[in-house]
A and B are shown apart, each in its own frame.
Chain A
């Protein structure tokens, strides 16, 4: 079956622009996670969805970051007024609740 997919794979944007990153989880996975991984760094948790609700948004670094999930499936992570420090690989993962996560290939965001 299909794994987690993310689009775009690469995104270059100018400072100050808004960007939207998309995640298509594995069908049937109720939990969805967004992480950020800067060059050579670990995974920074951003937000967790269970179904369409986000019980844990504690990792979002600022109010420029938001995410939504519709139909218990696709999720979009939006970064407004991008800054250079937002440059990173944004990873999405999905899972059955409390089970192992399956990760997508990530979106590499570069803010110039």
Chain B
């Protein structure tokens, strides 16, 4: 069985603060893929990043960065200098390297206050 836990239900930060969204996963597969998606108030889910289990390099894309640590089964997401437009629900997801569906976490609602 696989599981994705996003323990933070809601986070509020003031604009320009940094914020980290936590994601912890469980899987018995040795090959798997991890994702982050953003769901703004408009409702449509937007892909942010994909990482495979063999690549533990951290990644930075503009104000976004991701820290993948296999040893702790975590794939955390940091937004630097947050902006109001970052306000959304963020989902972490896990896909096994086999013909099975994708498991999403319950999401973290981020509110950035101006």
Contact = CB atoms under 8 A, between A and B. Distances in A.
B101 A59 contact: yes
B49 to A, nearest CB: 8
Contact of B44 (A35, A43, A103): A103
Nearest to A104: B44
Contacts of A105: 43-44
Given A42-B104, A42-B107, A103-B44, A55 B50 contact: no
Given A42-B106, A43-B91, A98-B95, A55 B100 contact: yes
A97 B37 CA distance: 17
Interface residues of A, number: 24
A63 interface: no
Nearest to B42: A105
Contacts of B65: none
A42 B91 CA distance: 8
B105 interface: yes
Contacts of B100: 48, 55-56, 58
Interface residues of B, number: 22
Interface of A: prevailing SS? strand
A106 interface: yes
A100 to B, nearest CB: 4
B103 A45 contact: yes
A50 B105 CA distance: 23
A47 interface: yes
A90 interface: no
Interface of B: 33, 35, 37, 43-47, 50, 52, 91, 95, 97, 99-107
7 contacts: A45-B103, A55-B99, A56-B99, A56-B100, A98-B97, A103-B44, A106-B43
Interface of A: 33, 35, 41-43, 45, 47-48, 50, 55-56, 58-59, 89, 91, 93, 98-103, 105-106
